[in-house]
Structure 1
Amino acid sequence: RHVRAFLDANQERYRLTPEDRLTQTFDQTFDLSVFDLFMAWENGARVCSMDPIELLSPFKYLERNEITVWFSVPSVAAVLRRRGVLRPGTMPTLRWSLFCGEALPRETAEAWQAAAPRSVVENLYGPTELTIACTVHRWDPVSGPAGCVHDNVPIGRSYPGLHPLVIGEDGTPVADGQVGELCMAGPQTTPGYWRAPELTTERFFPYEGRTYYRTG
């Protein structure tokens, strides 16, 4: 049911069709691979598995396979930018560009948007305990740079149906604008760790009828 909640949120957001073609840049032992596989299966779309060497210069691969949905960790895009190969207009087939698993630097988002001008760029965030991803931020080429924090793209707002809570060191909620630890409750939250009750007690806590996970 946790994966079902994750898929439902993404189905509504991205509205993929049988015409879409998704990359598969993740090993299948990495939870982010669930998005590529299950979103494609649910919509009759195609998953195009890439050889790792093609990540160093994916442009011909994307064009040849008419890829419309890119999903990777930000460091893949960052390497392309540093190598000087992420040039404007080099990925015209993309309509969605999704990044997760690491911080997304502003310079990387800007360079990727220029290289994929028809694509919507989004930054996702989420630990495994919250089922793959739980927040998302849509990059805006005009206003986006001003909203960056420490020169990184924000992690955005929580998925529909999830309940974010920011707590202080004393474990109580902080006021808006104050620094604290992000916690999350909702249908994507795992109930705890397998055969690890002490760790479960450390990372999960009840609050106002919900079980929250402490993201750290």
Structure 2
Amino acid sequence: MITHVDDFLQESLKKNADKIGFIDEFSKLNKKEYSYKEFDIEAKKVASKILSLNLHKEGVLILLPKSTACLISFFAVAKSGNFYTLIDEKAPKERILKVIEILKPRLLITSKSLNLDLKIPYTIFTEDFSSFKINEKALSEAKANHIDTNLLYVFFTSGSTGVPKGVSIAHKSVIDYTFWVCESFKLKASEKIANQAPFYFDNSILDIFSSIKAGATLHLLPNALFAFPNKILDYLKIHKISFIFWVPSVLIYFANTKALDNFKLSSLKKVLFCGEIMPNKQLNYWRKNLPKTLFANLYGPTEITDVCSFYVVDRKFSDEELLPIGKACKNTELLVFDSNLKLIDSKQVGVKGELFVRGTSLSLGYFRAKDKTEQAFLQNPLHDDYLDLVYKTGDIVAYNEFGELLCFGRKDNQIKIAGHRVELGEIESVINSHENIKNSACIFKNENILCFYESDEELNLKAFLRDKLPSYMIPRTFIRVDKFKLNDNGKIDRKALKNEF
């Protein structure tokens, strides 16, 4: 029975002890390659050191760049019976201090090169990992006392009040999710996975744990390298990468620059994406260049362990169509309710409502924030017979004629104008179908819809939209940008747009 994510590592260790499981050619910390055996030994050393500090189910703060050292830290913390929180090492100190105030960690894992002074009682440096001694007895006791509802990690997302929200995820949720990924996409030990997502972003959960369960090889690619599509694609080709799970912004950028024109990626068999709406125009470019590759659109907020629905792209789409987010993952239920909490079923094609999710994937709530937890995790509106929590996603969806869900964007991106309810994401999907548009973002400000678009030239988008959208949905103002500013997760920074204009 699998109850601890370390069980995945131990199973792969039995079958592939000497196989290289982790490659980071760009690392400045620790080794660039680790076999499964080497990785486990290093994690045991660090876990033993943590156990000597007598922490008990506490949050361990990790401040490290994406690296094998960071992965070792994750597993070391988990092996010790504690849970981890990773913060971007380049994050503003003010944000780091806000997280520390909530988490109250007694242990920091970091690198001496970062030269941090955060007044945390204990610090473990990556430079000392190899010098620690393994305490098998302490490790065995920690494992024996573990249950799968213990926390594995707490990821902090931005809160609307400026106070970060710590999404608390248990081992059982990651285990369930990992089984689903490996079964649904047939991951094997021969798989070579190229990681794009930062490790403080929940998309990385799929890469890390699915790779380890399958006994595959995980390649870590630094975030900065994705500004150079040719370098990334050259890496995929040389290393015969077979599987990627990237945010749409990266796939869009590569399509806009026609980067695939000069590369034949014959080994790339599976392309998954998640995090925001993927425009079909750019997806069609990828599909044209990789006709034998599986493409899948995954959807889910951080609060449900990364993904709760998926759609394997199995038919043609025009550039202006909206790509479905599909149907529920195994052991997950998706419920759509109208504003009166009346259920909308799959026969009610095109009727929009808010998506609620239930299942093992649900977060255990926001860390030390009971009020916020109660606002987002509600009793199932369909009954009051027993405790049955659902997560209120805040996303507007509707069923199509295939029984698949379409996502129109955030409820807070739903506006009311001229008496009509409008989803800004629906406007963006039409604008993105223009042949000269690289990407777009709409915001609602001062009772007007503003559209920002990324293009090499000024475009007459009002004329383009005239026969495609009702007049009340056509933005009042269009502003061209050379390149969108992205947030830490690789998505368009909409807050910055609202603040700047």
TM-score (norm 2): 0.41
Q: Secondary structure at the match of 1:164?
A: strand
Equivalent residue for 1:181, pick from 330, 354, 359: 354
Structure label with greater radius of gyration = 2
Matched, 1:28 2:190: no
User: 2:295, 2:379 → 1: CA distance?
Assistant: 35
Deviation, structure 1 residue 84: 2.0
- Aligned-pair Cα RMSD in Å: 1.8
Matched, 1:152 2:327: no
Amino acid of the structure 1 residue aligned with 2:246: S
Q: Secondary structure at the match of 1:28?
A: coil
Pairing of 1:91-110 with structure 2 (within 5 A): 91-110=265-284
Matched, 1:199 2:354: no
Deviation, structure 1 residue 89: 6.6
**Alpha-carbon contact 1:94-1:118 (below 8 Å) kept:** no
Q: State the percentage of identical aligned residues.
A: 26
Equivalent residue for 1:67, pick from 229, 241, 248: 241
**Alpha-carbon contact 2:337-2:343 (below 8 Å) kept:** yes
- Gaps of at least 5 residues in structure 1 are none
Amino acid of the structure 1 residue aligned with 2:393: T
Deviation by residue 1:125-182 (Cα, 9 ceiling, x = unmatched): 0001110111101112xx3316x8x633111111011111111111221343321100
User: 1:152, 1:63 → 2: CA distance?
Assistant: 30
Amino acid of the structure 2 residue aligned with 1:212: V
- Residue equivalent to 1:90: 264
Aligned length: 212
Amino acid of the structure 2 residue aligned with 1:214: K
- Residue equivalent to 1:48: 219
User: 1:36, 1:102 → 2: CA distance?
Assistant: 18
Matched, 1:214 2:392: yes
Amino acid of the structure 1 residue aligned with 2:375: E
Deviation, structure 1 residue 35: 1.0
Deviation, structure 1 residue 88: 8.2
Matched, 1:135 2:305: no
Amino acid of the structure 1 residue aligned with 2:322: N
- Residue equivalent to 1:77: 251
- Gaps of at least 5 residues in structure 2 are 1-171, 395-501
User: 1:188, 1:93 → 2: CA distance?
Assistant: 31
**Alpha-carbon contact 2:229-2:259 (below 8 Å) kept:** no
Larger RCO (CA within 8 A; separation ≥ 6): 1
Q: Secondary structure at the match of 1:62?
A: helix
Matched, 1:2 2:180: no
TM-score (norm 1): 0.91
Deviation by residue 1:74-93 (Cα, 9 ceiling, x = unmatched): 11111111112233873221
Q: Which contiguous aligned blocks of 4+ residues in structure 1 show a shift greater than 3 angstroms?
A: none
User: 2:202, 2:322 → 1: CA distance?
Assistant: 23
Deviating more after overlay: 198-207 vs 48-57: 48-57
Q: Secondary structure at the match of 2:180?
A: helix
Matched, 1:167 2:327: no
Deviation, structure 1 residue 186: 0.5
- Residue equivalent to 1:12: 183
User: 1:44, 1:214 → 2: CA distance?
Assistant: 35
User: 2:285, 2:307 → 1: CA distance?
Assistant: 24
User: 2:289, 2:307 → 1: CA distance?
Assistant: 25
